[in-house]
Amino acid sequence: MGMMAFSKLNKLMPMRKAKTGGTRISVAAAEMPEGYCAYVIGDIHGRNDLLVPLLANIAADAVKRSALNTHLIFLGDYVDRGPASAAVIDTILDLDLPQMNIVTLNGNHEASMLTFLDDPLKGKRWLHFGGDATVQSYGIDISVGELTSEDIVSVREKLQKALPDRHRAFLEGLVESYTLGDYFFAHAGIDPTVALSAQKERDLLWIRDEFLLHGDAYEKVIVHGHSITPAPEFKTNRIGIDTGAFYSNKLTCLVLDGKNKDIL
Ligand SMILES: [Mn+2]
């Protein structure tokens, strides 16, 4: 067999067989498809003041790279905690980046907001983990401390009225996961015991330690938000980019281009 044929064959060979079958890929080896570039934004949580300048940086950076296909991927948690959740959704809906494929993933905070809108008594917990700030961002006055069941139902009625149709459609249209090249994107992570194709929404949106503490590589490198670290976290099997923007003032964007993984 000649050199050319050998190297071609070698490229097709999986790196390492896992118990469940299939290739396992490490962060160091992971790459984007030829000509593709992706900008990935972590948890925004109502910080429109950080999102707007970051988007300007991304647009300027994309011009320099001139990739044939550029993705802009949001990892979810647009709303809650920070002061301007409604404005964040407007900013994303009004994006004028026709050359980019925009992907908006679902976060546990958006799922909780929808649960509250659909059944406020079942979903009232949302008001206590950041939802109160979202309600206020739609111009509704609430003080969370002493809400009766009637108060909660009334807050829901007001929010239902104030929420623009396109915001409701945005929340309902969010996707659970996305795959590109050697990468799998999800808000919180994955269940390490389950194939990527069989993940459950609950894990993709909420999982923490079972995923964060798992050391082995997966079929793809997992890019996620949800669990806050002071700086972007590069592990063998995953990249975490929730840097706690709502209180740290650091909204992180990961740029994937070829084998490069840069922070913008
Ligand atoms: Mn979050």
The string of pLDDT tens digits covering residues 89-122 is: 999 999 999 999 999 999 999 999 999 999 999 9
Q: How far is CA 35 from CA 11, 68, 108, 116, 239, in A?
A: 18, 5, 32, 42, 21
Does 75 fall in a domain? yes
pLDDT of residue 145: 72
Taking the C-alpha atoms of residue 119 and residue 132, their distance in angstroms, rounded to an integer, is 16
Does 65 fall in a domain? yes
pLDDT of residue 178: 98
CA of 156 to the centre of ligand 1 (A): 22
Q: Is the pLDDT of residue 7 over 70?
A: no
pLDDT of residue 143: 77
CA of 169 to the centre of ligand 1 (A): 21
CA of 12 to the centre of ligand 1 (A): 38
Question: What tokens does 35 get?
Answer: 């000509």
Structural domain count of the chain: 1
Q: Is the pLDDT of residue 170 over 90?
A: yes
Taking the C-alpha atoms of residue 99 and residue 21, their distance in angstroms, rounded to an integer, is 37
Q: How many CA atoms lie within 13 A of 68 on its CB side?
A: 6
Instruction: Please give the average per-residue pLDDT across 237-250, as a whole number.
Output: 98
Angle subtended by helix axes 149-162 and 108-118, to nearest 10 = 110
37 DSSP β-pair partners: 70, 257
pLDDT of residue 66: 77
Taking the C-alpha atoms of residue 254 and residue 72, their distance in angstroms, rounded to an integer, is 10
pLDDT of residue 241: 98
pLDDT band for position 255 (50/70/90)? very high
The CA-to-CA distance between both ends of the chain, in Å, stands at 45
CA of 136 to the centre of ligand 1 (A): 18
Does 42 fall in a domain? yes
Taking the C-alpha atoms of residue 69 and residue 147, their distance in angstroms, rounded to an integer, is 49
Taking the C-alpha atoms of residue 257 and residue 236, their distance in angstroms, rounded to an integer, is 18
pLDDT band for position 165 (50/70/90)? very high
CA of 231 to the centre of ligand 1 (A): 15
CATH number for the domain including 141? 3.60.21.10
DSSP codes, 178-247: EEETTEEEESS---TTS-GGG--HHHHHH--HHHHT--S-BSSEEEE-SS--SS-EE-SSEEE----HHH
Angle subtended by helix axes 85-93 and 165-173, to nearest 10 = 80
Q: Is the pLDDT of residue 4 over 50?
A: no
CA of 246 to the centre of ligand 1 (A): 9
pLDDT of residue 146: 80
Write down the mean pLDDT value for the chain. 92
CA of 81 to the centre of ligand 1 (A): 9
CA of 166 to the centre of ligand 1 (A): 22
Q: What is the pLDDT of residues 198-232, one digit of tens each?
A: 999 999 999 999 999 999 999 999 999 999 999 99
CA of 66 to the centre of ligand 1 (A): 31
Does 241 fall in a domain? yes
Question: What tokens does 152 get?
Answer: 């909660």
pLDDT of residue 174: 98
Does 20 fall in a domain? no
Q: What is the pLDDT of residues 184-201, one digit of tens each?
A: 999 999 999 999 999 999
Residues with Cβ < 8 Å from 80, sequence gap 6 or more? 45, 46, 109, 112, 113, 126, 129, 130, 131, 133, 134
CA of 84 to the centre of ligand 1 (A): 15
Contact 106, 175 (CB under 8 A): yes
Contact 16, 23 (CB under 8 A): yes
CA of 257 to the centre of ligand 1 (A): 25
CA of 43 to the centre of ligand 1 (A): 5
Contact 179, 102 (CB under 8 A): no
Does 80 fall in a domain? yes
CA of 9 to the centre of ligand 1 (A): 43
CA of 88 to the centre of ligand 1 (A): 14
CA of 23 to the centre of ligand 1 (A): 30
pLDDT band for position 144 (50/70/90)? low
Q: What is the pLDDT of residues 45-82, one digit of tens each?
A: 999 999 999 999 999 999 999 789 999 999 999 999 99
Domain that holds residue 43: 36-263
Contact 220, 184 (CB under 8 A): yes
pLDDT of residue 14: 41
Helix (H, G, I), strand (E, B) or coil at 22: coil
pLDDT of residue 194: 96
CA of 42 to the centre of ligand 1 (A): 8
Q: What is the pLDDT of residues 147-158, one digit of tens each?
A: 899 999 999 999
CA of 253 to the centre of ligand 1 (A): 15
CA of 242 to the centre of ligand 1 (A): 7
